[in-house]
């Protein structure tokens, strides 16, 4: 067991830390206020080679893996969770392609992500189907088929119809990983009824729907993707027809990356609040001199380090390909703990600054708003708890 980062990962951490301090920190408040996409930061990440961190070298990436991406995201999220989301989006939609895509799909869609010439987004959720993925209504029908078969006869392709919602980065994306029911029966809850497709933005019938007005993580829009009789060639099916498992594998491997957004945010918030209480005078001392405050800082520091260990371990597991069912509790635990901890840490930071923390003069109120989405996205805290409990009940997580 080795708790140290490799030399390469340490160098990555140092360089991203500097970039985050120089470029992300000064922009974070303006991004939150304007809500406009920070193209300048996207280009800074591209120039620093960060867009290809999790992509294999043969497709233009640097092969730093999920751990490398998590480390970079942790640094960026100290200042801006929107900027961290831009990095996350290099993995969320590309994950299924990397796990189950064909060589042709990888060659066509991945290098552009690494060099910044293409962006992608991930469409699983629908207005009536968030946690309950099987409730999706987006339908894929074999071209020329009746839509009542098994889907295996889609020689020339598929026709997709439906609405995906809350999709992060929907407006900037050039292509989408989209999931649809392909079994013919929209009410089917069978796991082989869902299939993943790559859909290009420019194709006929692909349209943007509403853009959401969000509480936080502004600048990278979430919104609807409308699919109206979109023709998808057969070669753009990712993995097997009926591959619901692929959606889950993709999300399992993402847990450490979402967790990293939480630990970075918490670290940024605690450091900021600590500096503040060390300066702020009250009762002839500084606020930091009070033991009650010191203990809150200490508890938050313990929380952060516990979350970091869970996150790094889960990232190493995911990089080893350990994101199948038996590893789920460890991955879910990192996401659950790090994101809930981020909410607690950002709340503490607001509290430690008092009224100042509630005002827009300080970034604490932004961290507080941004943190909350982390316990909802990519599997809510309740969903993670279900998965962890299932792991214990099934003895995937057992200490004997
Ligand atoms: C900012 C943001 C960005 C997003 N980006 C994307 C994206 O890029 N792509 C995408 O596909 N989706 C995206 N989503 C959607 C996100 O994945 C869903 O919001 C999430 O899966 C939860 O679904 P829901 O919102 O429908 O909540 P629901 O499923 O309706 O759940 C509501 C509440 O009930 C709880 N609950 C549900 N089922 C159970 C249960 N069985 N036991 C106990 N409690 C339960 C939930 O935990 C939650 O607290 C995004 C969401 C947000 C907020």
For residue 150, the model assigns a pLDDT of 43
CA distance 215 to 320: 36
- 132 Cα nearest atom in ligand 1: 29
* Contact partners, residue 112, CB within 8 Å, separation at least 6: 118, 174
Q: Report the separation in Å between the CA atom of 400 and the middle of ligand 1, taken as the mean of its atom positions.
A: 34
Q: What is the mean pLDDT of the chain?
A: 95
Please give the model's pTM, rounded to 2 decimal places.
0.96
- The residue whose C-alpha atom lies closest to atom 48 belonging to ligand 1 is 380
- 89 Cα nearest atom in ligand 1: 8
For residue 312, the model assigns a pLDDT of 98
| Mutate-to-test residue for ligand 1 from 131, 199, 213, highest number of ligand atoms within 8 A of CB | 131
- 216 Cα nearest atom in ligand 1: 1
Known active-site residue 378:
yes
- 378 Cα nearest atom in ligand 1: 17
CA distance 29 to 366: 8
Q: What is the pLDDT of residues 231-246, one digit of tens each?
A: 999 999 999 988 889 9
Measure CA 175 to chain center. 17
For residue 216, the model assigns a pLDDT of 97
For residue 244, the model assigns a pLDDT of 86
- The residue whose C-alpha atom lies closest to atom 4 belonging to ligand 1 is 166
**What ranges in the chain are assigned the alpha helix state H?**
7-19, 28-34, 39-47, 65-77, 81-88, 94-100, 103-109, 111-115, 244-279, 291-319, 328-353, 355-358, 364-374, 381-393
Cβ–Cβ < 8 Å for 225, 167: yes
- The residue whose C-alpha atom lies closest to atom 1 belonging to ligand 1 is 373
Q: Report the separation in Å between the CA atom of 129 and the middle of ligand 1, taken as the mean of its atom positions.
A: 8
CA distance 120 to 152: 27
- Which candidate, 310, 276, 269, 256, places its Cα nearest to that of 77? 269
CA distance 232 to 287: 61
pLDDT below 50 — which residues of the chain? 147-153
Judged by DSSP in three states, 227 sits in strand
CA distance 353 to 358: 8
Identify the H or E element spanning 122: strand 120-123
For residue 187, the model assigns a pLDDT of 85
- 388: its two tokens: 């962890």
Query: What is the per-residue burial (b if ≥16 Cβ within 10 Å, else e) of 262-276?
Result: bbbbbbbbbebbbeb
CA distance 271 to 145: 59
Judged by DSSP in three states, 153 sits in coil
Measure CA 205 to chain center. 27
Q: What is the pLDDT of residues 57-97, one digit of tens each?
A: 999 999 999 999 999 999 999 999 999 999 999 999 999 99
| Mutate-to-test residue for ligand 1 from 137, 258, 380, 384, highest number of ligand atoms within 8 A of CB | 380
CA distance 225 to 176: 9
- Report the DSSP pairing between strands 175-181 and 158-168: unpaired
CA distance 310 to 41: 29
Q: What is the pLDDT of residues 145-165, one digit of tens each?
A: 654 444 444 568 999 999 999
Biggest CA pair distance of the chain: 80
Judged by DSSP in three states, 230 sits in strand
- 121 Cα nearest atom in ligand 1: 8
CA distance 184 to 123: 20
Cβ–Cβ < 8 Å for 244, 192: yes
Q: Report the separation in Å between the CA atom of 166 and the middle of ligand 1, taken as the mean of its atom positions.
A: 9
- Which candidate, 179, 196, 180, 183, places its Cα nearest to that of 146? 183
- Report the DSSP pairing between strands 120-123 and 175-181: parallel
Q: Report the separation in Å between the CA atom of 369 and the middle of ligand 1, taken as the mean of its atom positions.
A: 17
For residue 306, the model assigns a pLDDT of 98
For residue 146, the model assigns a pLDDT of 54
Strand-pair partners of 288: none
- The residue whose C-alpha atom lies closest to atom 45 belonging to ligand 1 is 382
Q: What lines the ligand 1 site, CB under 6 Å?
A: 121-125, 130-132, 166-168, 214, 217, 222, 373, 376-378, 380, 382-383, 386
For residue 152, the model assigns a pLDDT of 47
- The residue whose C-alpha atom lies closest to atom 37 belonging to ligand 1 is 131
CA dihedral 79, 351, 333, 373 (to 10 degrees): -60
| Mutate-to-test residue for ligand 1 from 124, 125, 369, 381, highest number of ligand atoms within 8 A of CB | 125
């Amino acid at each position: 067991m080795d708790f140290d980062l490799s030399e390469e990962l340490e160098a990555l951490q140092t360089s991203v830390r500097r970039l985050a301090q120089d470029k992300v920190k000064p922009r974070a408040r303006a991004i939150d206020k304007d809500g406009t996409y920070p193209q300048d930061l996207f280009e800074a990440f591209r120039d620093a080679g960060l867009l290809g961190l999790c992509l294999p070298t043969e497709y233009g990436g640097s092969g730093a893996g999920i751990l490398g991406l998590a480390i970079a995201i942790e640094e960026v999220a100290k200042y801006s969770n929107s900027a961290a989301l831009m990095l996350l989006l290099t993995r969320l939609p590309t994950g299924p392609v990397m796990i189950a895509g064909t060589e042709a799909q990888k060659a066509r869609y991945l290098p552009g992500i690494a060099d910044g010439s293409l962006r992608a987004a991930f469409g699983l959720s629908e207005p009536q189907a968030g946690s309950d993925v099987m409730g999706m209504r987006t339908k894929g029908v074999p071209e020329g088929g009746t839509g009542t078969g098994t889907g295996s006869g889609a020689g020339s392709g598929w026709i997709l119809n439906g609405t995906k919602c809350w999709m992060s980065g929907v407006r900037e994306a050039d292509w989408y990983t989209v999931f649809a029911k392909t079994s013919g029966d929209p009410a089917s809850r069978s796991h082989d009824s869902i299939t993943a497709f790559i859909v290009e933005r420019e194709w006929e019938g692909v349209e943007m729907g509403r853009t959401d007005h969000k509480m936080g993580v502004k600048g990278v829009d979430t919104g609807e993707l409308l699919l109206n009789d979109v023709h998808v060639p057969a070669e753009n099916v990712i993995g097997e027809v009926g591959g619901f498992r692929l959606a889950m594998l993709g999300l399992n491997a993402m847990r450490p990356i979402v967790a990293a957004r939480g630990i970075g945010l918490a670290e940024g918030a605690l450091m900021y609040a600590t500096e503040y209480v060390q300066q702020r005078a009250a009762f002839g001392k500084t606020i930091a001199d009070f033991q009650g405050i010191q203990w809150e800082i200490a508890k938050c520091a313990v929380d952060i380090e516990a979350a970091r260990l869970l996150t790094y371990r889960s990232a190493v597991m995911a990089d080893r390909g350990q994101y199948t069912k038996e590893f789920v509790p460890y991955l879910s635990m990192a996401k659950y703990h790090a994101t809930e901890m981020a909410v607690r840490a950002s709340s503490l930071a607001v509290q430690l600054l008092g009224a100042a923390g509630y005002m827009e003069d300080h970034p604490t109120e932004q961290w507080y708003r941004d943190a909350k989405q982390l316990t909802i996205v990519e599997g809510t805290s309740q969903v993670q708890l279900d998965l962890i409990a299932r792991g214990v009940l099934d003895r995937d997580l057992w200490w004997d």
